[in-house]
């Protein structure tokens, strides 16, 4: 099991070593210690390996992740798993702003809280937050599922496209063009599947679904207040 | 009723001129601002107001056909492991697949590659056709992140972080429903046929302190190979250039207000930003103040049309220029052969700017397969390559006349201005004087 | 555009370590602001006396100027020298005269004043700045610090943060105000004076003006939400208080940690990572447009 101490060697060496791994590597489990809030830790991975990071990370940890599993035993800074393509990123602590921003696929699990703009412009990623999410989350969310066991802050889903937002707790307010929608069997099945993948125990029936009213899809003068 | 004699002929107001009246009538009828493509159409102080001082007795010119005048430029010499080497200092600016048709993007790649220069993706991701036909391709990283993925990031030769563009500094893009075809929608993960609004700020950073961290991430993902460009619309060029440099950019792209866009509000295009002429010197000054001029590279764009413009921009301190609108014209945009169809659209060849509608008779700014098929990417690419050659030859002609064996040796002191405005903006003396308005000396 | 840190101790237990803790927090934020750095520390107060922090080229210049000042105000100030800065302790009733002398003097500049506040700022990498001033050895009840990446105003000592425009009041800022010129003109009409073109100084002046007009710190910050436009995270210190405010959009980063002993602020979590007991602290990001304030009596 390769281990890497960021207090002793530079980030560049860690990321270079992880990028050099082939899809068939047998070095499939990496331990990274002393991340000390460094930025861009384990970003751009594209091999099906597991990287466990023991501590807090700074901005853009596991950015653009593809195929890999990245586990952060601490808090994550701005933009954790931003633009993730596939694989899994799990934050055991809290996540800062813009968690999972523009993510295209894969699963992001935040066991603590996520702050503002969680899932902003998400494009197919599944995000599960065990705690609460901050304001302006899922702004311009295009596709994918955001599942929140706690509460959501102000302006949830502002200018949302076709993403699904499942919230179990209280929603402080909905953003422009975001509405509560009836949950169909299909939605319930999607939610249950995401919860199962995330290993999170919760009843799909306890959630409410929010999505696009599709009133802003075509510019109309009567909706001008929403812009 | 008879018309009285000596009646004054109809007289239009300069303030409420026919264009203004038509716009008020249009606004009153529709309730929405005018959206169009292209760049600023108003008259602005421009490179035309500058002249070169050719060599004579105090300086010696180079022979046009024998003595070499270099045109090559290397971009990304500051931090990138693999800088880009271009044969000519004219690149093709970012224009999206979506705003442009597939054949148009292919033609840009073919033309740029034939001329030994780079082309650039746009807000909508990289297509395989575009990558395949571009020997050097710059991949734009935009607020919307449409189609952004690490594989294409690694396939690119450079990465351009777009903060703004000259046509609309501080604004996001728009792509109206007619142009969101099934393929465009899929690349952007959007429902087909909707009016798409792009974000004006990046979703996961704002300001230079965070930009520095974003640049570090992109470098780490691509193992420090690719030059990182930062593109800004010209508005506060001194500060923006200094901050992009401090944040770690390899190349700064500065786009003046004549720079085009696929679609945005006319009020934005005509009333926000600085003319290209006025933006270059403050940007160069910022780099000089930081000791970074010629250590990182400055690309200037927005209304570059001729080899004279190229030479003037380089003389004012740019390392290269970039063309967008001119490249589209070279491909066949606004070609008189489509005049009958322009007339049907209520316009005329040379004035067509409704690029947002997707009805382009020339098949360039459209997603309509029938219209797009009108553009032969091989022939159009050839036209672009020809045009790029002419830009280069013209710039060399001027440089040789000024006694320069390389375009990069052109200096502001080789220029004078015809107008006080241009003299002040470009920081060169009014012709026949040693007066630079606004400077002590 | 910058890094911000702040540490407010709820009880005296960690007071002797304040400077060391704040220094470590500040140094971690060097990358966010490599141009200059500054900090304010709220130390002891002496009844009837005020601390004036001044800056000058070096210790000789400062010594000479302080001697002249002593003659001018007819009182020999108690002085502590810290590299390019000096903290003078004088009688409260001599403050006005001393300020006038400093403002008329070519070699020294006024930095800040207060019963408890000492203010230090200088151009250079934050780790050098904290060492030059000896921050790790300072004690106090609270302190705030800043590392600066200048946006539109000059990289100078005066342009560094924190900015103080009132007794014991100081402010640091990350972001960029978009209407500071108009607000500055309004405040100048109200009699406020400014030493720089910096947007942050306007924010500090605005709060001092509101407080002068009778507002509490909390009220002044609430008012700023309607009068100051742009992107900002403010951390504010007063003689006994500490406050945080983010603009309604809140793009600039902010993390806080609260324990029984302290409240701490950092632009990034890593600034807080070295604080004692932080692993058990309540960690949160301040909500947009919400005033957070702590007071110690």
**Closest CA of chain C from B192, distance in Å:** 30
Task: Let me know whether C92 and C51 are in one domain.
Answer: yes
Q: Which domain holds residue C37?
A: 2-44+124-295
Confidence band, pLDDT 50/70/90 cuts, at residue B245: very high
Q: Provide the pLDDT confidence category of residue C18 given band limits of 50, 70 and 90.
A: very high
In DSSP terms, A15 is beta-bridged to: none
Using a CB-CB distance cutoff of 8 angstroms, which residues of chain B are in contact with residue A16?
223
Instruction: Judge if C170 and C185 occupy the same domain.
Output: yes
Question: Two tokens at B305?
Answer: 């049309």
Residue A77 contacts C where some CB pair is shorter than 8 Å? yes
For the cut 70, the answer to whether the pLDDT of residue B1 exceeds it is: no
d(CA C40, CA C37): 11
Chain-wide mean pLDDT for chain C? 93
On whether any CB of chain C is under 8 Å from the CB of B170, the answer is no
CB burial of residue C72 (10 Å; 0-12, 13-18, 19+): middle
The burial of A180, by beta-carbon neighbours within 10 Å (0-12 exposed, 13-18 middle, 19 or more buried), is given as middle
Q: Is residue B101 part of a domain?
A: yes
Q: Do C3 and B209 touch (CB under 8 A)?
A: yes
Which band of pLDDT confidence, cut at 50, 70 and 90, is reported for residue C153? confident
Establish, for the pair of chains B and C, how many residue pairs have beta carbons separated by less than 8 Å.
35
**How many other β-carbons are positioned within 10 Å of the β-carbon of residue B73?**
24
Find which of C252, C268, C269 to mutate to test the A interface (most A CBs within 10 Å of its CB). Answer: C269
> Contact partners of C by the rule of 3+ C-beta pairs under 8 A?
A, B
Select the residue of A59, A143, A219 nearest B195 (Cβ to Cβ): A219
Residue B254's pLDDT is 98
Tell me, yes or no, whether C78 and C149 share the same domain: no
| Helix H or strand E encompassing C64 | helix C59-73
C268 to A58: CB separation less than 8 angstroms, yes or no:
yes
Q: If you ran DSSP here, which 8-state letter would residue B78 be given?
A: S
What pLDDT score does B176 carry?
A: 77
A116 and C255: CB-CB below 8 Å? no
Chain B within 8 Å of A212 (Cβ-Cβ)?
Answer: no
Shared domain for C102 and C158, answered yes or no, is no
Q: How many domains does chain B have?
A: 1
Cα C259 from chain centroid (whole Å): 23
Q: Which of B207, B210, B213 sits opposite C176 (nearest CB)?
A: B207
Which chain A residue lies closest to B194 (C-alpha atoms)? A217
**Mean pLDDT of the C158-171 span:** 89
- Least CB-CB distance to C268: which of A37, A113, A135? A37
Between B12-21, B167-176, B267-276, the lowest mean confidence (pLDDT) is in: B167-176
Q: Establish whether C2 is a catalytic residue.
A: yes
Structure tokens at B155: 């396939």
| CA–CA min distance A22, chain B (Å) | 15
Closest-CA distance, B28 to chain A, in angstroms, reads: 12
A116 touches B: beta carbon within 8 Å = no
Residue C198, Ramachandran bin (φ over 0: left; ψ between -120 and 50: alpha; else beta): beta
> What ranges do the domains of chain A cover?
3-226
Residue B441, pLDDT above cutoff 60: no
Q: Which of C270, C283, C284 sits opposite A58 (nearest CB)?
A: C270
- Mean pLDDT over each residue of chain B, to the nearest integer: 95
Q: What is the pLDDT of residue B3?
A: 67
pLDDT reported for residue A14: 98
In-domain check, residue B398: yes
Q: Bridge partners of B333?
A: none
The residue of chain C nearest to residue B208, with distances taken between CA atoms, is C1
Instruction: Please give the average per-residue pLDDT across C146-170, as a whole number.
Output: 85
Longest CA span, chain C: 54
The answer to whether B201 faces chain C, any CB pair under 8 Å, is yes
Instruction: Assign residue C268 the CATH number of its domain.
Output: 3.60.20.10
Nearest-Cα residue of chain C relative to residue B286: C152
Which residues on adjacent β-strands are paired with residue C34?
C148
Q: Which residue has the tokens 């993730």?
A: A84
Chain A residues with CB under 8 Å of B224 CB are: 12
- B6 — pLDDT class (breaks 50, 70, 90): confident
Distance spanning both ends of chain C, measured CA to CA: 33
Tell me, yes or no, whether C74 and C139 share the same domain. Answer: no
pLDDT bracket for residue B5 (50, 70, 90): confident
Distance CA A84, CA A65 (A): 5
pLDDT of C195 above 90: no
Q: Which residues pair with B133 in a beta bridge?
A: none
How far, in Å, are A204, B165, C174, C232 from residue B266 at the CA level?
Answer: 48, 14, 34, 31
Q: List Cα–Cα distances, B189 to B144, B146, B181, B182, C20, in angstroms.
A: 11, 7, 12, 10, 50
Residue to substitute from B204, B210, B223, interface A, most A β-carbons within 10 A: B204
Q: Which of B177, B210, B221 sits opposite A218 (nearest CB)?
A: B177
Which residues does chain B have within 8 Å of residue C174's beta carbon, measured at their own beta carbons? 207, 209
Contact indicator for A47, A36 with CB cutoff of 8 Å: no
Contact B377, B106 (CB under 8 A): yes
Q: Which subunits sit against B, judged by 3+ Cβ pairs under 8 A?
A: A, C
The count of CB pairs under 8 A between chains A and C is 46
Task: Give dist(CA C14, CA C277) in Å, integer.
Answer: 12
* Preferred mutation among A18, A43, A145 to probe B, highest tally of B CBs within 10 A: A43
Task: Supply the DSSP symbol for A76.
Answer: B
What was the pLDDT predicted at A201? 95
Position C263 scores a pLDDT of 97
Closest chain C residue by Cα to residue B240: C151
Average pLDDT, chain A: 95
Q: What are C53-64's pLDDT values in tens digits?
A: 999 999 999 999
Domain range for B133: 35-173+203-426
β-pair type (B251-255, B415-417): unpaired
Return the CATH number at B235. Answer: 3.20.20.70
Average pLDDT, integer, range B301-322: 98
**A positions 150-169 inside 8 Å of B (CB):** 159, 161-162
Judging contacts by C-beta atoms under 8 Å, the chain A residues touching residue B203 are 82, 98, 101-102, 117, 120-121, 139
**Residues C66 and C177 grouped into a single domain:** no
Task: Look at chain C and report how many structural domains it folds into.
Answer: 2
For chain C, count helices (H), then strands (E). Answer: 7, 16
C6 shares its domain with C62 = no
Is residue B11 a part of any domain in this protein? no
CATH match for A3-226 among 2.40.50.100, 3.40.50.10540, 3.40.47.10, 2.160.20.60 = 2.160.20.60
Alpha-carbon distance of A1 to C221, in angstroms, equals 52
Instruction: Name the residue among A38, A77, A135 with its Cβ closest to that of C287.
Output: A135
Q: What is the mean pLDDT of residues B64-86?
A: 94
At A143-198, the pLDDT tens digits run 999 999 999 999 999 999 999 999 999 999 999 999 999 999 999 999 999 999 99
Higher-scoring residue by pLDDT: B28, B196: B28
Distance from CA of A201 to the nearest CA of B (A): 30
Same domain for C128 and C269: yes
Nearest CA in chain A to B141: A83
Residue C269 C-alpha, separation from nearest chain A C-alpha, in angstroms: 7
- If phi > 0 it is left, if psi is from -120 to 50 it is alpha, else beta; for residue C61 that is alpha
d(C-alpha B368, C-alpha B184), whole Å: 12
CA-nearest residue to C272 within chain A is A37
Q: Which residues of chain C are at the A interface, by a Cβ-Cβ cutoff of 8 Å? A: 28, 249-251, 253, 255, 268-271, 273, 283-285, 287-288
User: What distance in Å separates residue B271's CA from the closest CA in chain A?
Assistant: 21
Residues with Cβ within 8 Å of residue B208, at least 6 apart in sequence: B243, B244, B246, B247, C1, C149, C151
Determine the residue of chain B that is closest to C147 in CA distance: B209
CB atoms within 10 A of CB C105: 16
Residue C248 to chain B, least CA–CA distance (Å): 15
Alpha helices in B172-230 (DSSP H): 182-188, 207-221
Q: What interface predicted TM-score (ipTM) does this complex get?
A: 0.92
Residue B421: inside a domain? yes
| Chains touching chain A, criterion 3+ CB pairs below 8 Å | B, C
Residue of C2, C91, C170, C251 with catalytic role: C2
**Does the beta-carbon distance from A75 to C288 stay under 8 Å?**
no
Q: Is the backbone peptide bond immediately before A156 cis, with ω within 30 degrees of 0?
A: no
Give the helix/strand (H/E) hosting A165. strand A164-167
* Burial of residue A86, with CB atoms counted within 10 A of its CB: 0-12 exposed, 13-18 middle, 19 or more buried: middle
What CATH number is attached to the domain comprising C66?
A: 3.30.70.600
* Cα of B210 vs its chain's centroid, Å: 26
Asked if C208 and C269 sit in the same domain, the reply is: yes
Mean pLDDT computed over A131-138: 97
Cβ neighbours of B93 (radius 10 Å): 30
User: Is the domain of C85 the same as that of C148?
Assistant: no
Q: Nearest residue of B to residue A79 by CA position?
A: B204
Touching B: A residues 180-209, CB under 8 Å: none
Q: What is the pLDDT of residue A227?
A: 59
pLDDT band at A224 (very low <50, low <70, confident <90, very high): low
Q: Determine the straight-line distance between the first and last CA of chain B, rounded to whole angstroms.
A: 68
Whole-number pLDDT of residue A13: 97
A134, pLDDT greater than 80: yes
């Amino acid at each position: 099991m390769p281990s890497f101490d960021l207090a002793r060697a530079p980030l560049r060496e860690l990321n270079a070593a992880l990028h050099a791994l082939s899809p068939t590597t047998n070095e499939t489990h990496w331990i990274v210690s002393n991340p000390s809030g460094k930025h861009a830790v384990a970003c751009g991975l594209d091999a099906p390996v597991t990287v466990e990071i023991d501590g807090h990370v700074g901005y853009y940890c596991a950015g653009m992740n593809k195929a890999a599993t990245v586990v952060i035993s601490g808090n994550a800074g701005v933009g954790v798993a931003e633009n993730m393509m596939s694989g899994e990123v799990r934050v055991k602590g809290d996540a800062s702003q813009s968690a999972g921003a523009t993510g295209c696929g894969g699963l992001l699990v935040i066991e603590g809280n996520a702050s503002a703009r969680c899932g902003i412009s998400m494009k197919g990623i599944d995000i599960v937050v065990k705690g609460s999410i901050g304001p302006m989350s899922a702004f311009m969310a295009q596709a994918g599922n955001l599942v929140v066991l706690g509460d959501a802050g102000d302006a949830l889903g502002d200018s949302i496209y076709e993403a699904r937002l499942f919230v179990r707790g209280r929603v402080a307010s909905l953003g422009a063009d975001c509405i509560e929608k009836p949950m169909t069997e299909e939605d319930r099945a999607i939610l249950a599947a995401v919860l199962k993948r995330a290993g999170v125990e919760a009843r799909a029936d306890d959630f409410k679904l929010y999505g696009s009213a599709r009133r802003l899809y075509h510019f109309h003068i009567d909706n001008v207040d929403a812009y | 009723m008879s018309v009285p004699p000596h009646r004054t002929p109809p007289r239009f107001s300069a303030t409420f001129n026919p264009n203004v009246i038509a716009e008020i009538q249009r606004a009153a009828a529709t309730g929405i601002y005018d959206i169009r493509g292209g760049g600023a159409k108003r008259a602005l102080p421009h490179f035309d107001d500058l002249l070169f001082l050719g060599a004579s007795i105090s300086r010696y010119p180079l022979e046009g056909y024998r003595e070499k005048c270099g045109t090559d430029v290397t971009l990304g010499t500051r931090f990138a492991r693999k800088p880009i080497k271009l044969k000519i200092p004219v690149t093709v600016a970012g224009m999206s697949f979506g705003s442009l048709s597939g054949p148009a993007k292919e033609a840009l790649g073919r033309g740029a590659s034939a001329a030994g220069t780079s082309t650039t993706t746009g807000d909508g991701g990289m297509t395989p056709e575009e990558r395949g036909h571009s020997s050097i391709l710059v991949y734009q990283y935009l607020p919307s992140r449409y189609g952004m993925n690490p594989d294409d990031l690694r396939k690119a030769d450079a990465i351009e972080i777009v903060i703004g563009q000259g046509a609309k500094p501080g604004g996001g893009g728009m792509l109206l429903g007619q142009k969101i075809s099934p393929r465009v929608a899929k690349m952007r993960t959007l429902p087909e046929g909707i009016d798409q609004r792009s974000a004006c700020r990046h979703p996961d950073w704002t300001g230079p302190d965070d930009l520095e961290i974003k640049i570090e991430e992109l470098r780490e993902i691509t193992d420090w190979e690719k030059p990182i460009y930062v593109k800004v619309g010209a508005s506060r060029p001194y500060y923006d250039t200094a901050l992009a440099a401090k944040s770690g950019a390899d190349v700064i792209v500065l786009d003046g207000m004549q720079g085009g866009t696929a679609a945005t509000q006319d009020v934005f295009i005509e009333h926000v930003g600085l003319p290209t002429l006025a933006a270059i010197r403050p940007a160069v000054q910022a780099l000089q103040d930081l000791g970074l001029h010629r250590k990182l590279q400055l690309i200037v764009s927005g209304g570059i049309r001729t080899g004279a413009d190229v030479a003037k921009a380089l003389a004012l301190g740019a390392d290269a220029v970039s063309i967008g609108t001119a490249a589209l014209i070279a491909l066949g945009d606004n070609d008189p052969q489509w005049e009958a169809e322009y007339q049907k659209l209520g316009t005329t060849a040379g004035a067509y700017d409704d690029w947002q509608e997707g009805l382009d008779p020339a098949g360039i700014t459209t997603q309509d397969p029938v219209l797009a098929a009108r553009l032969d990417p091989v022939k159009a690419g050839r036209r672009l390559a020809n045009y790029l050659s002419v830009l280069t030859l013209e710039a060399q002609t001027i440089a040789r006349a000024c006694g320069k064996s390389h375009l990069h040796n052109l200096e502001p002191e080789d220029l004078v201005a015809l107008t006080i405005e241009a003299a002040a903006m470009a920081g060169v003396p009014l012709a026949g004087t040693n007066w630079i308005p606004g400077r002590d000396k | 555009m910058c890094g911000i840190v702040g540490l407010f101790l709820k009880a005296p237990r960690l007071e002797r370590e304040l400077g060391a803790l704040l220094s470590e927090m500040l140094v971690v934020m060097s990358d966010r602001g490599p141009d200059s750095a500054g900090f304010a520390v709220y130390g002891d107060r002496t009844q009837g006396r005020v601390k004036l922090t001044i800056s000058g080229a070096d210790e000789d210049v400062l010594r000479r100027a302080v001697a002249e000042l002593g003659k001018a105000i007819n009182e020999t100030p108690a002085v502590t020298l810290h590299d390019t800065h000096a903290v003078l302790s004088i009688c409260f009733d001599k403050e006005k005269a001393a300020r006038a002398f400093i403002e008329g003097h070519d070699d020294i500049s006024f930095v800040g004043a207060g019963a408890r506040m000492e203010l230090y700022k200088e151009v250079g990498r934050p780790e050098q700045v904290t060492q030059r001033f000896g921050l790790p050895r300072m004690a106090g009840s609270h302190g705030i610090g800043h590392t600066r990446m200048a946006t539109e105003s000059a990289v100078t000592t005066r342009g560094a943060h924190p900015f103080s425009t009132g007794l014991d009041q100081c402010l640091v800022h990350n972001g960029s105000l978009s209407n500071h010129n108009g607000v500055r003109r309004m405040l100048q009409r109200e009699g406020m004076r400014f030493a720089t073109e910096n947007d942050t100084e306007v924010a500090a002046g605005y709060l001092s003006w509101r407080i002068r007009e009778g507002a509490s710190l909390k009220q002044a910050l609430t008012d700023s939400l309607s009068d100051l436009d742009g992107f900002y995270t403010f951390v504010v210190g007063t003689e006994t208080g500490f406050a945080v405010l983010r603009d309604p959009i809140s793009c600039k980063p902010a993390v806080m940690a609260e324990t029984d002993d302290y409240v701490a602020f950092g632009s990034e979590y890593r600034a807080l990572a070295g604080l004692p007991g932080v692993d058990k602290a309540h960690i949160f990001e301040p909500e947009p447009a919400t005033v957070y304030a702590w007071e110690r009596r």
